[in-house]
Amino acid sequence: MKNETKIGLDTMLGVGKKKKIAGREYYILPVCIKDMIYVIGNGIENDETKTLVIVDKESLNQEEVKWQLFGLNIVDEERKKIFLKILNRYVFYCSGDEKIPMTEELLVEHNWSFKEIGEFLLAWSQISD
């Protein structure tokens, strides 16, 4: 049987960054090796593995694409499952000294728009740069 180790939040806290999104403060951890597949794919041409839709910042700044494109991560059911898993694993809402893992309910309650979803995905995928 394969033993799966769990990396504690305390271990990761040194490499994460605080970011304000939608007027609230969140703590975002960088992409872990096991989840890089959702950002860059797995390199297999005909594989059905879904990647998250992450548009580069330059295209957004030059208005080549719109923030609404990030909404594909919510309307496509497979991407939504991946997005919510990533959100719960890597984003913590800072409430005083407490860090609360993000959930779909908090996402709705905090009223993230296309832009907030995009800001999170850009920060998450680039935090370790």
State the pLDDT confidence band at 44, using cuts at 50, 70 and 90. low
CA atoms of 10 and 29, how far apart (whole Å):
11
DSSP bridge partners of 24 = 21
pLDDT score of 6 = 56
Percent over 90 (pLDDT), the chain:
38
Q: How far is CA 28 from CA 49, 65, 69, 113, in A?
A: 24, 25, 21, 18
CA atoms of 118 and 121, how far apart (whole Å):
5
pLDDT tens digits for range 6-42 = 555 555 555 788 999 989 999 998 888 888 888 887 6
pLDDT tens digits for range 80-101 = 999 999 999 999 999 988 999 9
pTM of the predicted model as reported, rounded to 2 decimal places: 0.79
pLDDT score of 88 = 93
